[in-house]
Amino acid sequence: MTTANLRVKIDRESTALRRKRITEMTQQGLSSPEIAAMLGMSERSVTRARVLCECTLGEAAVPATDDERRRALELLTDGCSYMETARTIGRSSTAVRRWFPGYEWTAAQCGEMAAMMRKLNRLPAHLRDL
């Protein structure tokens, strides 16, 4: 066996071993940064290995219920932002934005909200909690 062939064989074995360790560590609940630090590799390499091994951290995403979607639509039509809607129903703002595109705030609405928040922050603390 030539030196080049031996090097390729060792690289394949070490890659397989590294992927196995990443899978085990993922199943133990370790995050990508933690695994990367322990194995001396980049977070991106850990993520790629997870994809190739088809191992994920935690449970698969739970699909949204009809009630969650209905409530999200109510909030958006009432003028809530994607972030506020997502916090209220317990989902990510990306998911809410994907379900209901086109409910973004205009620049004027963002400015109005910022001005209102500045006024609110200037109030004495005992009046803010009312």
Mean pLDDT of the chain: 82
Measure Cα distances from 10 to 4, 23, 34, 52, 56 in Å: 10, 20, 25, 19, 27
How many of the other CB atoms lie within 10 Å of CB of 31?
A: 13
- pLDDT grade, residue 7 (50/70/90)? low
* Cα dihedral: 21, 24, 28, 32 (round 10): 50
Domain spans in the chain, listed from the N-terminal domain onward: 3-53, 66-128
Digit-coded pLDDT (tens) for 26-48: 888 888 888 888 888 888 888 88
Digit-coded pLDDT (tens) for 96-117: 999 999 988 888 988 998 999 8
| Prediction pTM value | 0.47
Counting DSSP H helices and E strands in the chain, the numbers are 8, 0
* 77-81, 88-92, 126-130: segment of lowest average pLDDT: 126-130
Buried b or exposed e, range 81-109, using 16+ CB within 10 angstroms:
bbeebbeebebeeebbbebbeebeeeeee
